[in-house]
Homo-oligomer: A and B are copies of this chain.
């Protein structure tokens, strides 16, 4: 029998809160999604002013990062013309996102979930996603 480690709702909230704090700091209202290790949504918040299109993209970034166990940014590099994963962005009905902003949450080498952000530039989305993870890992390792 497999024993799976999975983010709890409380942990998902910690991830979102960390990302939101950074989003407020840089002044970009974000859509923030947290998926579990199976890619299924655990929690989501659209900050007031977050983009409608990002409601979907943030969720799909979290889905992609959890399901593929890698950052969506790494897929962006791997799917450039001529690269091995070229064309992967339209997989799974377009749910596989290759734009930066989705990052897996890794504990002891194991993916336990992922966070995905959208509404800013991909660099801003990534910065806030990483802030969420840093905040979570800080609270996790001190607990």
Q: Which of A81-107 contact B (CB under 8 A)?
A: 81-82, 84-94, 96-100, 107
**Closest residue of B by beta carbon distance from A76:** B86
Number of copies: 4
**Which size bracket describes the interface of A in this complex?**
35 or more
Whole-angstrom distance between the Cβ of A89 and the nearest chain B Cβ = 4
Which residues does chain B contribute within 8 Å of A80, judged by CB atoms? 81-82, 86
Complex Cα gap A94–B66 (Å): 20
Q: Do the beta carbons of A99 and B81 come within 8 Å of each other?
A: no
Complex Cα gap A43–B63 (Å): 17
Which residues does chain B contribute within 8 Å of A98, judged by CB atoms? 86-87
Q: Do the beta carbons of B90 and A94 come within 8 Å of each other?
A: yes
